[in-house]
Amino acid sequence: MRESNDSRPPVFVYRGRAIANYGFGNDHPFGPDRHDAFHSELAAAGVGAAVQYAEPRRASVDELALFHTPEYIDRVSQLSQEGRGFLDAGDTPAFPGVFDAASDVVGTTLAAVDAVMRGETRRAFVPIAGLHHAARANAAGFCVFNDCGVAAEYLRKQYGVERVAYVDIDAHHGDGMFYGFEDDPDLLFADIHEDGRFLYPGTGSADETGTGRARGTKLNIPMAPGAGDGDFRVAWERVADYIDKASPDFMIFQCGADSLAGDPLTHLEYSEEAHAAAAGTLCELADIHCEGRIVGTGGGGYDRRNLARAWTRVVQAFAARG
């Protein structure tokens, strides 16, 4: 029997300086002001009792090591103490304390997973997270540790959840997730992104469907520069159909807002309606296949107004279906 509106658990939304501080300075596209831009918009939206705010937590080294190599974890720790240099070929600078800041992002996504798996809520959202470029053994594209990758491994180890769906509508291909699980048939991957011939990181062509036993468990949909809501809807039908057939046990949604028109780094032209519609569909599919369990992560988005609106619509869509 369907629960009444009043008995729906609130959506957990994570808020706090620990995750706000993951960033590369206020003048950087990935600046600490992104957190506050979102939370101001969400508060202004008047979500009331539909949202419960929750606190960040820090991931342990053992948790990081569920996805990342020990050598890479040690390297980040070392560069964090030195506070200079780059964690990759030149996109992701080390700053003093970057190790703790990146561990706070991972830990907060794990806190969201815990809240959902313990039945405290069915939907949770972490705005500063979804760091999908980080690979098992290196940083990339502003992403130091891959919270989504750690979360997928954590779900298996901590809760015995095998089939995790990762859905990504950030403008950039989620290469850290794709290659991190390329040969893993139980990580169900669907990613709509700007065609790699026009945008970083250059990967994610339609013929990349997984390797070995995992062949056919990954769906990459490249979009032409300038693609709008109509194009997104067509692509999204394929994602929804794929997820429905894959029947996952848990969903991780990376809803990067850099796919909205006006983003300074990309060339896609969706509106926040794309994010709202995707979040709504995923909740429907989560209700059918995995007891409603979904964690949303903010991902990219470098126009503050865009990210504030898109992520607020995601939280509202989560709340609307309880």
Contacts with Zn ion by CB under 5 A lie at 170-172, 256, 258, 300
60 SS3 class? coil
DSSP conformation class of 2: P
The DSSP bridge partners found for residue 253 are 167, 296
Least distance CB 301 / Zn ion (angstroms) = 7
For residues 259 and 88, what is the distance between their CA atoms, to the nearest angstrom?
24
Two structure tokens written together for 267 = 């060339």
Two structure tokens written together for 235 = 């692509």
For residues 239 and 247, what is the distance between their CA atoms, to the nearest angstrom?
12
Q: Are 219 and 189 in contact (CB under 8 A)?
A: yes
Least distance CB 179 / Zn ion (angstroms) = 16
Residue environment code for 169-200, b if the CB has 16+ CB neighbours within 10 A, otherwise e: bbbbbbbbbbbbbbebbbbbbbbbbbbbeebb
Q: Which of 133, 172, 193, 289 is catalytic?
A: 133
Residue tagged 């080294």 (tokens): 61
133 is a catalytic site residue: yes
Least distance CB 205 / Zn ion (angstroms) = 17
Alpha-carbon torsion 242, 243, 249, 255, what sign? positive
Least distance CB 192 / Zn ion (angstroms) = 12
DSSP conformation class of 130: -
For residues 290 and 319, what is the distance between their CA atoms, to the nearest angstrom?
17
For residues 132 and 303, what is the distance between their CA atoms, to the nearest angstrom?
19
Q: Are 211 and 182 in contact (CB under 8 A)?
A: yes
For residues 80 and 69, what is the distance between their CA atoms, to the nearest angstrom?
17
Amino acid code (one letter) for 304: R
Give catalytic residue positions.
133
